[in-house]
Amino acid sequence: MSAYSLLLRHPELFGAGTLFLTDQTPIDGDWLRACQQHNSRIRTWNWLVHKGAQSLGEDACRFGLPEPQDLLHCDTVVLLWPKAHEHAQTLLQWLSSQPDASSRRYFAVAANDAGGKSIGKRAQPLCQSVTKIDSARHCTLWQLHLAPSVGFNWLQPAQSFRWGEHAYLTLPGVFNHGKLDQGTALLLEHLPVPNHGRVLDLGCGSGVIGLSLKARQAALDVNLTDIDAFALRSTELNAMRLGLDVSIYASDGLADVTGRFDYLFSNPPFHQGKDTDYRFAQQLFANAQRHLTRQGQLWLVANRHLAYEEWAAEHFAQVDIVAQGNGFKVLLAQAH
């Protein structure tokens, strides 16, 4: 039973004044129909959720960071608790700082293996009280009485790391928030800096791969995509701080990417909650050549134990391990 299914046990939570904050996939079809039936609204920072709920219309399901306008005419907020607990707490901080915060009802729900049982404990510092409402089939629903606060903005919980001459900001929820992960660092150490060409940074996170290349070679046409709005906003902020002219947009892997590229760079995700999920990488190998020029190159980093070079060899004529270190490896795949 998913957290969405648990919410269906509580029809009183649905209504025209209800806002759901969620990044959880897959979407439950019955929950989506209940939202449509009761004119409930959705704010999501997950592009997959947005695409899955497009039948509701742009006004009913908005993609991006939560904004004050989302709370207009809102009397109930239901947070599907993100897997990154720090991110969830930041969302509660944002909610508690909004005008008329004390006039709304707040609920939070999650599967128990995604932190559902511990929501009460983690939310307590930001609440006047927390109450468990329901617990069934490995999910838990809580009601939160938020303590009103003031002065919050999304830059307050942001953290930065340095690569080369520049600092890169990350907002909460972005992969490896406030740090440069070892895999991406290994990739950056061995990337070529082309003199020209079209570049795609796929799953860009903070944008450090694509932006660092653009900073070193202004002639590059750099595109950066991610499924997560907090990552995209982090990349936008970093591009503005560095004064770099790049293209930044949402995409589910390569699904929303158009055109061909001379270089495609990625640090593919392979975890989905506690489970291992290789679909992103497998789909990337299968579809990458449709988006590469004839001499195009696919560069990526992976945990050393993953059989990525074997999967890549099913679709590329040449696959080389360029570097290894700290439990990671950098692969270069080419069609010719």
Same-domain pairing of 31 and 89: yes
Task: Determine, yes or no, domain membership for 154.
Answer: no
Same-domain pairing of 320 and 281: yes
Collect all residues with Cβ–Cβ distance below 8 Å to 71 and sequence separation of at least 6: 19, 77, 98, 99, 100, 104
29-38, 195-204, 263-272 — which is least confidently predicted? Answer: 263-272
- Domain CATH code at residue 206: 3.40.50.150
Contact, 215 vs 192, CB < 8 A?
no
User: Of 113, 146, 179, which marks where a domain is finished?
Assistant: 146
Q: What is the DSSP string of 31-60?
A: HHHHHHHHT-EEEESBHHHHHHTGGG-TTT
Same-domain pairing of 257 and 294: yes
- pLDDT tens digits along 274-312: 445 678 888 999 999 999 999 999 999 999 999 899 999
Task: Determine, yes or no, domain membership for 112.
Answer: yes
Helix 182-190 and helix 208-216, axial crossing angle in degrees, nearest 10: 30
Task: Determine, yes or no, domain membership for 186.
Answer: yes
- pLDDT tens digits along 169-200: 999 999 888 899 999 999 999 998 999 999 99
Sign for the pseudo-dihedral over CA of 281, 287, 292, 294? positive
Average pLDDT, the chain: 94
Same-domain pairing of 182 and 328: yes
Peptide bond into 26 cis (omega under 30): yes
Closest CA to 145 of 109, 117, 107, 110: 107
Same-domain pairing of 136 and 164: no
Task: Determine, yes or no, domain membership for 301.
Answer: yes
Same-domain pairing of 198 and 319: yes
Same-domain pairing of 117 and 209: no
Task: Determine, yes or no, domain membership for 153.
Answer: no
Helices (H), ranges, the chain: 3-7, 29-38, 47-52, 85-96, 119-123, 182-190, 208-216, 229-242, 279-287, 308-313
Same-domain pairing of 76 and 134: yes
User: Of 91, 119, 146, which marks where a domain is finished?
Assistant: 146
The average pLDDT across 139-168 equals: 95
Q: In which band, very low, low, confident or very high, does the pLDDT at 270 lie, cut at 50, 70 and 90?
A: low
Task: Determine, yes or no, domain membership for 137.
Answer: yes
Same-domain pairing of 124 and 184: no
- pLDDT tens digits along 1-15: 689 999 999 999 999
Task: Determine, yes or no, domain membership for 151.
Answer: no
149 burial level (CB within 10 Å; 0-12, 13-18, 19+):
middle
DSSP for residue 111: E
Q: What is the DSSP string of 276-326?
A: E--HHHHHHHHHGGGGEEEEEEEEEEEETTS-HHHHHHTT-SEEEEEEEET
Q: How far apart are CA 167 and CA 161, in angstroms?
A: 5
DSSP for residue 174: S
Number of domains in the chain: 2
pLDDT given for residue 281 in this prediction = 86
pLDDT at 273 over 60: no
Same-domain pairing of 312 and 225: yes
| CA 106-117-107 angle, 5° bins | 10
Same-domain pairing of 108 and 167: no
Residues in the chain: 336
Task: Determine, yes or no, domain membership for 10.
Answer: yes
Q: How far apart are CA 127 and CA 130, in angstroms?
A: 7
Same-domain pairing of 11 and 130: yes
Q: How far apart are CA 262 and CA 298, in angstroms?
A: 9
User: Of 117, 146, 175, which marks where a domain is finished?
Assistant: 146
| CA 76-41-112 angle, 5° bins | 65
Range of 232's domain?
A: 159-334
